[in-house]
Amino acid sequence: MPIEIKNVSYTYAEGTPFETTALKDINWKITENSMWVVLGKTGSGKTTLIQTLNGLLIPKNGEILVDGISTKDQKNDIKKIRERIGLVFQYPENQFFLPTVLEELLYAPKNFNKNISQNDILNILNLVGLNRSFLGRNPFTLSGGEMRRVAIASVLSYNPKYIVFDEPTVGLDYSGRKKYGI
């Protein structure tokens, strides 16, 4: 099943002098095994749209359905949606909250009751261009590119059905972008 965005609108600070409409009547269907790139200038609503996909933001108007589960219906367990949609934040340091890279990588699998082996962890690190020496390090002490790679690895660790990247190349140097085709 797809991710369906139906007539979604989102307004920040509604009813105040700072009211800003970030999204207005967005309709979109994202199917499995497809890749999309959303481009737009700063402030155009890209991050807001991304955050509505896994329920970090709930649109006042419209609805997001992830494999038929609504982000808006409070009867639904939002955890089921977040298990399906892995979100890599624009600023990785906003994604981290544990003292070591290993704990960051283990958190989501534990939270979603998924098994992950030490070999899986090492393979994921290798996939993002890191090695086992990073496991004991504090993610907040890493370079911007290393943080980005750990953020990606932390999402890959639980194998979500969909992965959404917000500004995926922030913090990566030219060789990192070239190596991973971004």
pLDDT tens sequence across 66-120: 999 999 887 888 999 999 999 999 988 899 999 999 999 999 999 999 999 999 9
Q: What is the token pair recorded at 179?
A: 């190596």
Rounded to a whole number of angstroms, the CA Rg of the chain reads 17
Report pLDDT digits (tens) over 114-139. Answer: 999 999 999 999 999 999 999 999 99
> What pLDDT does 178 receive?
59
Task: Set out the domains of the chain in order of their start, with CATH numbers.
Answer: 1-76 (3.40.50.300), 77-182 (3.40.50.300)
Paired residues of 5 in beta bridges: 28, 64
Listed in sequence order, the residues at least 6 apart from 86 whose beta carbon sits closer than 8 Å to its beta carbon are 108, 155, 156, 158, 160, 162, 163, 164
pLDDT band for position 167 (50/70/90)?
confident
Q: How far is CA 22 from its chain centroid?
A: 19
